[in-house]
Structure 1
Amino acid sequence: MLLDPRGPRFAAGLTAIVFVLVLVTGAWWLALAQAVIFAITAVDPRKGPYALVFRTVVAPRLAPPTQREPAEPVRFAQAVGFVFALTAAIAYVAGATAVGIVAAAFGLAAAFLNSAFGLCLGCELYLAARRVTGRPMAARVPVD
Structure 2
Amino acid sequence: MSAPATVDVNVPRFNQAMVAALVGAAFVLQWWPLVAITAGILALTRFGGPRLGVFTQTYERMIRPRMAGPIEHEAAAPPRFAQLLGTVFLGAATVLFVFGWPVAAWAVAVAVFALAMLAATTRICVGCIIYDRAVA
TM range (shorter): 0.7 to 0.9
- What letter corresponds to residue 40 of structure 1 in structure 2? L
2:27 to 15, 23, 26: 23
CA spacing shift, 1:65–1:4, aligned 2, 3 Å: farther
Runs (5+) with no aligned partner, structure 2: none
CA RMSD of aligned residues (A): 1.5
Secondary structure of the residue aligned to 1:63 is coil
Secondary structure of the residue aligned to 2:114 is helix
Question: 1:1-144 counterparts in 2 under 5 A?
Answer: 1=4, 2-43=6-47, 44-45=49-50, 47-131=52-136
* Identical-pair percentage: 31
- What letter corresponds to residue 30 of structure 1 in structure 2? L
The offset of 1:66, in angstroms, is 4.5
Aligned length: 131
**Bigger mean CA deviation after superposition, 97-106 or 66-75:** 66-75
In 2: Cα distance, 1:127 partner to 1:19 partner? 26
Secondary structure of the residue aligned to 1:119 is coil
Q: For the Cα contact (< 8 Å) 1:84–1:106, is it kept in 2?
A: no
**Bigger mean CA deviation after superposition, 102-111 or 89-98:** 89-98
Q: For the Cα contact (< 8 Å) 2:50–2:57, is it kept in 1?
A: no
- What letter corresponds to residue 96 of structure 1 in structure 2? W
Runs (5+) with no aligned partner, structure 1: 132-144
- Which deviations, in whole Å up to 9, do the C-alpha atoms of 1:68-107 show, x marking residues without a partner? 1122112111110011111121212222011111111111
